[in-house]
Amino acid sequence: MRFDFSPLFRSTVGFDRLFDTLDQVAQYEAGQSYPPYNIERTSENQYRVTVAVAGFGEKDLNVEVKDNVLTIAGKREDAEKGDGKGVLYQGIAGRAFERRFQLADHVEVRGAKLENGLLHVDLEQIVPEEKKPRRIAINAPESNIGLKTIEGSAKAA
């Protein structure tokens, strides 16, 4: 399903990247369901992406971040070799995959851990001081002391 964002271009400035990202996500997610994954918020500024990678070892997985895109790829070496084990039924998918996640600005990958067939990738959003909300003091005089009033009359020219 494609969305037409052209009406929004007439009334927005600087959101081209946002619309491109939405378009890419719609195209990418339409045909991809393997492997399953979860995205969870573990604290206010920390997140975890968990991908089910049953049958994949550390050497079969690749986690990479480039241009705010987290890419998790898996390719089993033994699946290509056809090691002749005589598998009668293969219900555990071992096909190669690549999953991409668009990261927000200032989100950094803190680590990845493979545990019980699940790959956990920990993320943290680090907001720079200049981007954090700050309180602005309002300078209001406590009394009229120190205020100067200029009085005068308008002269007719």
Is the overall model pTM greater than 0.75, yes or no? no
Q: How confident is the model at residue 138 (pLDDT cuts 50, 70, 90)?
A: confident
Tell me if 112 sits within 8 A of 121, measured CB to CB: yes
Phi, psi of 17 (to 5 degrees): -65, -40
**What token pair was written down for 100?**
């991409």
Place 127 in a pLDDT band, splitting at 50, 70 and 90: confident
Alpha-carbon span 83 to 127, nearest angstrom: 49
Q: Reduced to 3 states, what is the DSSP secondary structure of residue 153?
A: coil
User: CA-to-CA distance for 66 and 88, rounded, in angstroms?
Assistant: 40
Return the domain boundaries, the chain.
1-31, 34-129
Amino acid at 155: K
Q: What value does the CA radius of gyration of the chain take, rounded to a whole number of Å?
A: 28
Taking 80 as the threshold, does the pLDDT of residue 140 lie above it?
no
Instruction: Decide if domain 34-129 falls under CATH 2.60.40.790.
Output: yes
Q: State the Cα–Cα distance between residues 82 and 21, nearest whole angstrom.
A: 39
